[in-house]
Amino acid sequence: MAYNDCSYCGRTIQGAGSVRGGGSANASSSREGPACVECKRSKGNRSLVQWLRWVKKNDRNRWERITKYHGRKSGGMITLTVKRIAEER
Ligand SMILES: [Zn+2]
C-alpha cells in the first residue's frame, strides 16, 4: 500500500494513520489526501493553488521535490494542479 506517501511531495509520512479523518476544521483538505507534517504546516489554511504558487516562489527545494514527484504521476487532481502551476510564469 502506497497510501503513506505525502500527496504533495511524495515523502513517506511518519506515523501515518492519524492523518486522515481527524477533526480538522478545514474539511475540504480531506479530499486532497494525506500530507506530511511539513507540507501540512507549510500549507496551513491556504487552498492548494494558493499554496503551490507560494511554494514555487518561496520554497524552491520543496517545489522541486513536488514537481519531481508529480512528474512521475499521470493524473489526479493534485498532479494536474502542480503541472498547471509549474507552467505559470
Ligand atoms: Zn509533503
pLDDT in tens, 1-56: 445 899 999 999 876 455 454 444 444 445 668 899 999 999 999 999 999 999 99
Band of the pLDDT at 89, cuts 50, 70, 90? Answer: confident
Distance, CA 70 to ligand 1 centroid (Å)? 12
Environment of ion ligand 1 (residues, CB < 5 A)? 6, 8-9, 36, 39
Give residues with Cβ within 8 angstroms of 63, minimum separation 6.
Answer: 55, 56
Q: What are phi and psi of 24, to 5 degrees?
A: -65, 140
Q: Which helix (H) or strand (E) holds 1?
A: none
Distance, CA 39 to ligand 1 centroid (Å)? 4
Q: Which stretches of 11-59 are DSSP H helices?
A: 37-43, 48-58
- 78 pLDDT higher than 50: yes
Q: What is the mean pLDDT of residues 69-86?
A: 93
Distance, CA 13 to ligand 1 centroid (Å)? 8
Rg of the chain's alpha carbons, rounded to an integer?
Answer: 12
